[in-house]
Amino acid sequence: MADQRNFDYLVIGSGIAGLTFALKVAKAGRVGLITKKHRAESNTNYAQGGIAAVMSAEDSLELHVRDTLVAGAGLCHEDAVRTIVSEGPALMRELIEWGVKFSRREGGGEYDLGREGGHSKRRVLHAGDITGREIERALLEEAARQPSITVFEDMLAIDLITSQKLGLPGRNRCLGCYALDEKRSVVETFGASMTLLATGGAGKVYLYTSNPDIASGDGVAMAYRAGASIANMEFVQFHPTCLYEPRAKTFLISEAVRGEGAVLRGPDGVPFMKRYHEMADLAPRDIVARAIDSEMKKTGAEYVTLDITHKDPEFVRSRFPNIYAKCLEYGYDMTKQPLPVVPAAHYQCGGVVTDVDGRTEIAGLLAAGEVGHTGLHGANRLASNSLLEALVVAHRAADVAVRESREPARALPAWQSGNAADPDELVVVTHNWDEIRRLMWDYVGIVRTDKRLLRARARIQNLQREINQFYWDYKVTPDLIELRNLAQVAELIVECALQRKESRGLHFTLDYPGLQPEPRDTILRKA
């Protein structure tokens, strides 16, 4: 059994939210940052299009606010939108000071601002088409220069430790977490005065996703089990254009490609987006994904195509070097032929309920980034607003953490694994992983009905019973921990979807095609 590790600040996750927070609290105390794979492995690392902020005289905060509210379909919290949008530009300058090299226009002068769906102006700072990798690189290099930050790789947080779980009196408080050291197969105990949950999204709950394997919804599941409220999980954003190529494990074709003029075409080669929205190919993401889904269903096609062959090949190669090279690997030269594309699960708009400072309902527990729900995205996130939200909320949460961290870490009980034997039926875990992801894709996808949702609920409940039995009977493994979380997140998505009796933003149901007059968040809390 390992000794307890104590820190002033415990950070779970090393994407943009976790690293930003760690850098900002590093001067105030000792920071322990745990991350379940290699430190760069995160959704952040794969971000392509960029990060939205008002950076030009032709743009304004008011326009960015308006575009965010329009995309959010009446459900954004306007105060959160205003705060996050208005703090964006200053924090972009800080990112640049930390060493992020955003692309500049020819001649090396002004920043080259990209455009994406739902934006009325060019306002997306990018580093070619590997913006996330560049941000992650710069933040990790800056973190390596801070002696007070200790990073633990291959350290998978299992559950938060709270005063309520320990039977202590008073307001529920987070005291740290248990985490599985994946290399040594030992469960470690981390104690902290303040914990930041920055575990990202849950794309892996669907069969087809743009997300890397780390995105198994661990943070939402852990926070829910710890007693935090979870909001709006029904709003799963499907990115309209992922490469249709079985060998590619779902590779994203950035919306910035449409921002530079690419056109979606049906199987007959005819552009179709004008029939669905006045902004055509640059309509908000929910509309484009549904339009593609509808075209595929109508024609029986397995994909639609994305065509940028009318643009100068040199421009395409230099603006999208990563996408160009990756597609070429699979035999598609995007300067010469349209790319086959399909929608895939991309972003979780709901999450752990926080204010714009990242405060959850549990004392000592903050959340920032894709795991959290501030109300910025409403029923549909505006493209490139998620890196922005992660940055702003992590920055504000760091202020809160430094101001409000009073109690030092306390002694915590070590993890009890009882007499659990090694699992010998790993096939059950693999089977259940596959089943959850397929049933979510088939029954809780872009277009929903109550009948399909009820069918999904029944299956998930069965799976949860089986998974829980496995969880308590055997020693924990990474796959089992993630499976338990996936099942929890799947249940939350289905429950939220069943509660919403309307079609709004990303939640579209054939049973309730209209809007309810009063926009309302769906909030779930463990009984």
Q: Who's near 363: CB < 8 A, 6+ residues apart?
A: 171, 172, 173, 174
| 386 makes contact with ligand SIN (CB under 6 A) | yes
Q: What angle do CA 48, 53, 54 make, to 5 degrees?
A: 140
| 383 makes contact with ligand SIN (CB under 6 A) | yes
* φ/ψ of residue 254, rounded to 5: -50, 145
| 68 makes contact with ligand FAD (CB under 6 A) | no
| 384 makes contact with ligand FAD (CB under 6 A) | yes
| 48 makes contact with ligand SIN (CB under 6 A) | yes
Q: Which is nearer to ligand FAD, 200 or 266 (CB)?
A: 200
CA atoms within 13 A on the CB side of 59: 22
Q: Which is nearer to ligand FAD, 252 or 436 (CB)?
A: 252
Query: Which one, of 292, 286, 336, 332, lies nearest residue 310 by Cα?
Result: 336
| 327 makes contact with ligand FAD (CB under 6 A) | no
Task: Give the whole-angstrom CA distance, residue 124 versus residue 115.
Answer: 6
| 162 makes contact with ligand SIN (CB under 6 A) | no
| 15 makes contact with ligand FAD (CB under 6 A) | yes
Task: Give the whole-angstrom CA distance, residue 233 versus residue 249.
Answer: 24
Closest approach of ligand FAD to the CB of residue 229, in Å: 19
b/e per residue, 457-482, with b = 16+ CB within 10 A? bebbeebbeebeebbeebebbbebbb
In three-state secondary structure terms, 493 is helix
| 163 makes contact with ligand FAD (CB under 6 A) | no
Question: Which tokens hold the place of 23?
Answer: 């850098």
Site string for ligand FAD, 188-227 (x = CB under 6 A): ----------xxxx--------xx--x---x---------
Closest approach of ligand FAD to the CB of residue 394, in Å: 8
457 is catalytic: no
In three-state secondary structure terms, 488 is helix
Q: Which is nearer to ligand FAD, 65 or 498 (CB)?
A: 65
| 362 makes contact with ligand SIN (CB under 6 A) | no
3-state SS, one letter per residue, for 33-85: EECCCCCCCCCHHHCCCCEECCCCCCCCHHHHHHHHHHHCCCCCCHHHHHHHH
| 232 makes contact with ligand SIN (CB under 6 A) | no
Catalytic positions are 285
Binding site for ligand SIN (CB under 6 A): 48-49, 254-256, 347, 383-384, 386
Binding site for ligand FAD (CB under 6 A): 12-18, 34-37, 41-44, 46-51, 131-132, 156-157, 198-201, 210-211, 214, 218, 252, 347, 369-371, 384-387, 390
